[in-house]
Structure 1
Amino acid sequence: MKTQHQINQKLKSSLDNAIDISQKYILSLQNSEGYWLGELESNVTLTAETVLIYKIWGIFENLPKSKIEAYLCNKQNKYGGWELFYGDGGEISTSIEAYMALRLLGLSKDNPVLVSARKFILSRGGISKARIFTKFHLALIGCYSWEGLPSIPPSIMVLSNNFPFTIYEMASWARESTVPLIIVFDKKPIFPINPSFNLNELYVEDIEKVQYKLPYTNSWTDIFLWLDKIFQLLGKFNLIPFRERGLKEAEKWILDHQQESGDWGGIMPPMLNSLIAFKTLGYDIEDPSVKRGFEAIQRFAIEKDQDYYVQACVSPVWDTAWMIRALTESGLSKDHRSLQIAGDWLLSKQCLDYGDWAIKNKIGKPGGWAFEFTNRFYPDIDDSAAVIMALEGITLVNEQQKKAAINRCLQWIKTMQCKTGGWAAFDIDNNQAWLNEVPYGDLKAMIDPNSADITARVLEMLGSCNLEMSDERTAKALNYLYDEQEKDGSWFGRWGVNYIYGTSGVLSALAVLHPDKNYSQLKRGVSWLLSCQNEDGGWGETCLSYDNPELKGEGISTASQTAWSLIGLLDAGKALDNFAINHIDRGINYLVKTQTSTGEWKEKEFTGTGFPSHFYIRYHLYSNYFPLIALGRYQKLRHLF
């Protein structure tokens, strides 16, 4: 029989090897400039919409059409549809847009791929049951009537900042997408496709009987439908106040907010919408703003031997910050050359311009970091806190420059705290929930309220980096997290799937910031996480938990979600008497067993969240840097025994 010493030695050997090959794999991925960049995989709609916009602009020949066709066909599931996230069985709007793109690419509706897709789409109610944005894309090419779409009054562009509502009460992503659509929804353009093209086969009802109208809900939100009718009527008679001025302001806003990199806000939807607005306004394909916009789309595209598709965004700052943390926490020297060039690269990406955040934050000075290569209008709190923790963990040649950058960011983060005590992603007090009920906002993502996971990131940054914030600010943030804890001990995860992500982040924060005062909250959070562990030792949670909280903490084990759970448990264990070491051992064994010989972890599941219930992301590097952090922290723990 093996002794406990032999078992521990075997575990230590396996652990050391797992960390070593993971570090080597991660270092092999680093760009020569110092950053890391993983793929952001989402659903097929953005690629489908790229096909649409190239068709509208008459530059279809610039796309590798056969590769896009192959990509879309390969992503079709066995039921005939296309999915929002891996394994969801298919979603109607996503499927309609994929079908549209394949038809635009030249596939006959009798093609077996489209026959199967059509059956799936009709079984879900057809085009009439699609989301607003899908109907909008169809309306651009005459496959849906503009009568069935809501209005966006141009007048909102001229409302002063003292008015109860302006475009700055929308979330940054909603604002960036909406401003160009003010122009498009006002002009209601139709760009004919030649030869003659329609998608009548995707309507359940006869085309003559389609009712182009917004559905009533028999609730207070129907007031928006009545208001929309009024706006539509005023628009027909050109009686909307300040219409022309609003349209001019919208055009100016788009031009002013295009970055030197050609994109808007670093995400695809406003890029596509702005190019549609330019086309609506009669811009030429050779116009510099148009050319930069299409060049930006190409930078978001991934082309392989067989496939071509478009990412929603790119994440070099985020990935680099977490890679640095993973390498340092797993034992790489703080002054390792790879970490130094990564740190210098991050310093070069600090946002030193006043962005949209300054509209409501009158006292803050620039200093945050954004998600992407370039995004001077929209630094975000989550990235900024992650970068500070990464920089604090390494030694740079110019330490004074590093400390100055960290202090600038810290001062900015302080001023971005919301009245409720938490922090949001991009703005302060962006919480007018009624905006999610307007007909146009059927994704329910029109605002950017504070969230537990981002608030936790800020508090973890303060505690782990020994940074100072006033006792009043810290107490408000802690009270916010206390109030957000669910009855079962978990926390909701806004930006990762889902309660596992939220709970892990809050545990890490509470454990490094006054843990003695947070004992009760820590214990309840740990108990919930332990109750979710799967038989194989890992943790997993389905995206469906956003729609049905009864599914919280349930799902097949994944490397990223197992790592999140372990990180939260390991951090909380420092503050609790009950260390739950057996559960942690099982989780570590799961990670060691599922690691490949090349040092990576594979997972198909989507564990990143864009808009809960509507848009999810698979960060391809999540399954690598989070497990390495967990292994590194566990290794330090084991040295205590």
Structure 2
Amino acid sequence: MNMNVKMNAPAETVPVDALIKAATDAILREQRPDGHWVYELEADATIPAEYVLLTHFLGEEPNLELEKKIGVYLRRIQGEHGGWPLYHKGALDISATVKAYFALKMIGDDPEAPHMKRAREEILKRGGAGKANVFTRIQLALYGDVPWSIIPTIPPELILLPRWFPIHLSKMSYWARTVIVPLLVLAAKQPIARNPRGVHVKELFLPGKVASKRAAHQKWIWSAFFGALDWVLKRVEPFWPQKLRAHAIKTCMEWTTERLNGEDGLGAIYPAMANSVMMYDTLGVGPEDPRRAIARVSVEKLLVIKEDEAYCQPCVSPVWDTGLVCHALMETRDPKVHEAVTKGLEWLKPLQVLDVKGDWAEEKPGVRPGGWAFQYRNDYYPDLDDTAVVVMALDRAKEIEGQKSDYSEAISRGREWVEGLQSKNGGWGAFDADNSYYYLNNIPFADHGALLDPPTEDVSGRCIGMLAQLGEANDTPRMKAAIEYLEKVQMPDGSWFGRWGVNYIYGTWSALAGLNAAGIDHSHPMIRKAVDWLVTIQNEDGGWGEDCDSYKLEYKGYEKAPSIASQTAWALLGLMAAGEVDHPAVARGVRWLEANQGADGLWPQEYYTGGGFPRVFYLRYHGYPKFFPLWALARYRNLKTGNSRKVGHGL
């Protein structure tokens, strides 16, 4: 243990009232009339590129103005290396680059234009488009630019298999399920895009250059087994019973239709929505059919259209944003936020899913529903992280002067659902319990390595914090198992992995917040190790930063990255949860936030700090550099000026 952590003299209090007021005023201005907050959720070039290709797959009359704006966006985010990265200033990703190039060519960019030529050269340097991942090759197959024979076989009969079968949809994550089911139909029918402009990208291929049959995360024994299975499936597929195939396709369509989720879309995520539209189109369901029409509308609602550019979001985050903003505003203890917070909580309350047993019930059939989703609606797929955050916010509402709303039933049902979805190892996943069938990440289709939703440190920290905030003692069997899980998965350097936020800073804050709420003594070795780690990685300028590249298959320790607002806030919240508000590192972090606050009262941040799929897909939450710094500053002031140095909440 680094004894300096405990021996440093207390630092002076940094005046933060003006910073808090400016940020509070700015965030209050961003509240929607009905009470909620929602911020842009930006990914990489793949989703806007796929949107362009979707419209041309369907043969729709193109919206030239929209395409022009998407083109502006794609050109702006092209990296200096000539290709497109998965996150701001990231390395070239061949799959994202192939899709962006294809979309720009479809929009009308000249292949010999400098930006297109550079991208093409970089793709060819890396072996050509044949080296792209499975999802990109499927996109190319839909346009006839690669044969379906190079796509791993995913027969639609998969949906008919019994649950005990080793490869079953219920054993996969919710996002994999919703993406794959309509894709099963596309893979079986192998449609070709209408492509009215006749655009192809044959120039991106090199003869004989194809992606490896085994991704970096896959074990060679499993890969050989599944590779042999794929070889067999490809050869027996022509002899498949046609009645069975028709029944499987019909079942896939019924499964998708049941979960269409209105204008919020299948799974409320773009890839599933787009696949559902293409599935209906392939099966001859016309544009006027209510099923296809509403699926198509759900895609349009993801667009962010600005004056000069446009892009398509992977999903939206209103419940998450609103819950976290309410926490940040309540932390300010400013009477002027009471009305806004109350409106936000009242907006959240009816979004609790109480009457739909989602796919999670396959594993936990005896548990009553009671969770919240990430998006406006996603009743089949509420998540534990959002539920914990919302429940804690509703519980904190008693701090609001004059609060009359009764949230006790909503809190009770949310708690019951979270308790019911605890996994056997003591932790919590995001959407399912015990979704830990790791061998499935070795199937050829899973080259992205994100087919599962196992328990993670960040979600588990949040659930521990929620239960503790609601009064559960840390010696109950449930809490003992959860705390032991966090102790077991702590990294040797003292950090915790962050699945849904980048990365070890996020995971460490999440774990520390939960452990503090659970009453784990701040002198406990795992708390001290985490504090040491956070202090050690602080940048010279006083802030904290961590790159998306930290999601390595083999973690070898923290790698220095520029200071940014959201990660600085997480580090501060983590240190304060560990009882270190008086540590000089905290004062330095607060000064960094002070020095980097914008004239609008908020903090700029282009870096991505959200996790979609590690090493494959990242997110830029536009709200994170707004409300997390406010939260950290308000907590700092409250602890420095209060009678106690203990954080009294689960977050």
TM-score bracket for the superposition, by shorter chain length? over 0.9
Q: 1:627: Cα distance to partner?
A: 0.8
- In 2, the alpha carbon distance for the partners of 1:118 and 1:163 equals 43
- In 2, the alpha carbon distance for the partners of 1:239 and 1:233 equals 14
CA contact (8 A) 1:542 1:555 kept: yes
CA contact (8 A) 1:149 1:213 kept: no
Q: 1:583 to 1:125 in 2, by over 3 A?
A: same
**Aligned with residue 383 of structure 2, among 373, 380, 390:** 380
Worse-superposed segment, 122-131 or 171-180? 122-131
Q: 1:426 to 1:215 in 2, by over 3 A?
A: closer
- In 2, the alpha carbon distance for the partners of 1:584 and 1:483 equals 27
Q: 1:549: Cα distance to partner?
A: 2.3
Q: 1:399: Cα distance to partner?
A: 4.9
**RMSD over aligned Cα, in angstroms?**
2.1
Tell me what 2:293 maps to.
Answer: 291
Structure 2: which amino acid aligns with 1:232?
K
Q: 1:262: Cα distance to partner?
A: 4.9
- In 2, the alpha carbon distance for the partners of 1:589 and 1:564 equals 15
Q: 1:501 to 1:587 in 2, by over 3 A?
A: same
CA contact (8 A) 1:41 1:619 kept: yes
Structure 2: which amino acid aligns with 1:68?
I
CA contact (8 A) 1:559 1:623 kept: yes
1:445 maps to 2:466? no
Paired residues for 1:460-479 under 5 Å: 460-467=465-472, 471-479=476-484
Tell me what 1:354 maps to.
Answer: 357
Paired residues for 1:152-301 under 5 Å: 152-205=154-207, 209=208, 214=213, 218-239=220-241, 242-301=244-303
Q: 1:441: Cα distance to partner?
A: 0.9
- In 2, the alpha carbon distance for the partners of 1:572 and 1:601 equals 25
Q: 1:628: Cα distance to partner?
A: 1.0
- In 2, the alpha carbon distance for the partners of 1:415 and 1:272 equals 32
**Aligned with residue 589 of structure 2, among 587, 607, 624:** 587
Tell me what 2:512 maps to.
Answer: 507
1:554 maps to 2:555? no
CA contact (8 A) 2:522 2:578 kept: no
Q: 1:553: Cα distance to partner?
A: 5.4
Paired residues for 1:66-145 under 5 Å: 66-145=68-147
Q: 1:218 to 1:267 in 2, by over 3 A?
A: closer
Deviations 1:297-352 (A, max 9, x none): 11110001111110011000000011010011122239811111111001021111
Structure 2: which amino acid aligns with 1:389?
M
1:56 maps to 2:51? no
CA contact (8 A) 2:474 2:480 kept: no
**Aligned with residue 572 of structure 2, among 566, 576, 580:** 566
Deviations 1:553-586 (A, max 9, x none): 5311110000000001001016xxxx66111100
Worse-superposed segment, 325-334 or 222-231? 325-334
Q: 1:519 to 1:140 in 2, by over 3 A?
A: same
Structure 1: which amino acid aligns with 2:416?
Q
Structure 2: which amino acid aligns with 1:408?
R
Q: 1:369 to 1:255 in 2, by over 3 A?
A: same
- In 1, the alpha carbon distance for the partners of 2:337 and 2:305 equals 36
Structure 1: which amino acid aligns with 2:443?
V
Q: 1:121 to 1:447 in 2, by over 3 A?
A: same
CA contact (8 A) 1:170 1:430 kept: yes
Tell me what 2:491 maps to.
Answer: 486
Q: 1:325 to 1:514 in 2, by over 3 A?
A: same
Structure 2: which amino acid aligns with 1:130?
A
Worse-superposed segment, 213-222 or 21-30? 213-222
**Aligned with residue 421 of structure 2, among 413, 416, 440:** 416
**SS of the residue aligned with 1:302?**
strand
Q: 1:291: Cα distance to partner?
A: 1.3
Q: 1:178 to 1:518 in 2, by over 3 A?
A: farther
Q: Which runs of 5+ in 2 are unaligned?
A: 1-10, 644-651
Structure 1: which amino acid aligns with 2:471?
N
**SS of the residue aligned with 1:598?**
coil
Tell me what 1:630 maps to.
Answer: 632
Q: 1:199 to 1:347 in 2, by over 3 A?
A: same
Q: 1:282: Cα distance to partner?
A: 1.6
CA contact (8 A) 1:499 1:553 kept: no
1:427 maps to 2:427? no
Tell me what 2:27 maps to.
Answer: 26
Worse-superposed segment, 196-205 or 471-480? 196-205
Q: 1:466: Cα distance to partner?
A: 2.6
Tell me what 2:4 maps to.
Answer: none
TM-score with structure 2 setting the length? 0.92
TM-score with structure 1 setting the length? 0.94
Q: 1:192: Cα distance to partner?
A: 4.7
Q: 1:239: Cα distance to partner?
A: 4.8
Deviations 1:431-452 (A, max 9, x none): 1001111111111010100001
Worse-superposed segment, 457-466 or 608-617? 457-466
Tell me what 1:330 maps to.
Answer: 332
- In 2, the alpha carbon distance for the partners of 1:146 and 1:501 equals 40
- In 1, the alpha carbon distance for the partners of 2:520 and 2:213 equals 51
Structure 1: which amino acid aligns with 2:579?
G
Q: 1:241 to 1:553 in 2, by over 3 A?
A: farther
Q: 1:103: Cα distance to partner?
A: 1.3
Tell me what 2:6 maps to.
Answer: none
CA contact (8 A) 1:382 1:425 kept: yes
Q: 1:157 to 1:516 in 2, by over 3 A?
A: same
Percent of aligned pairs sharing the same letter: 37
Structure 1: which amino acid aligns with 2:635?
R
Structure 1: which amino acid aligns with 2:112?
D
Worse-superposed segment, 172-181 or 546-555? 546-555
Q: 1:90: Cα distance to partner?
A: 1.8
**SS of the residue aligned with 1:221?**
helix
**SS of the residue aligned with 1:265?**
helix
- In 2, the alpha carbon distance for the partners of 1:359 and 1:375 equals 17
Structure 2: which amino acid aligns with 1:20?
K
Tell me what 1:545 maps to.
Answer: 550
Q: 1:470: Cα distance to partner?
A: 7.8
- In 2, the alpha carbon distance for the partners of 1:59 and 1:158 equals 33
Tell me what 1:599 maps to.
Answer: 601
**SS of the residue aligned with 1:483?**
helix
Q: 1:8: Cα distance to partner?
A: 5.4
The number of residue pairs the alignment matches comes to 625
Q: 1:476 to 1:288 in 2, by over 3 A?
A: same
Paired residues for 1:514-529 under 5 Å: 514-516=519-521, 519-529=524-534
**SS of the residue aligned with 2:226?**
helix
**SS of the residue aligned with 1:136?**
helix
Q: 1:502: Cα distance to partner?
A: 0.6
- Which structure has more RCO (C-alpha within 8 Å, separation ≥ 6)? 2
Worse-superposed segment, 466-475 or 218-227? 466-475
Q: 1:189: Cα distance to partner?
A: 1.6
Worse-superposed segment, 160-169 or 95-104? 160-169
CA contact (8 A) 2:495 2:507 kept: yes
Tell me what 1:401 maps to.
Answer: 406
Tell me what 1:344 maps to.
Answer: 346
CA contact (8 A) 2:429 2:460 kept: yes
Q: 1:438 to 1:60 in 2, by over 3 A?
A: farther
Q: 1:242: Cα distance to partner?
A: 3.4
Worse-superposed segment, 22-31 or 469-478? 469-478
Q: 1:262 to 1:336 in 2, by over 3 A?
A: closer
Structure 2: which amino acid aligns with 1:134?
T
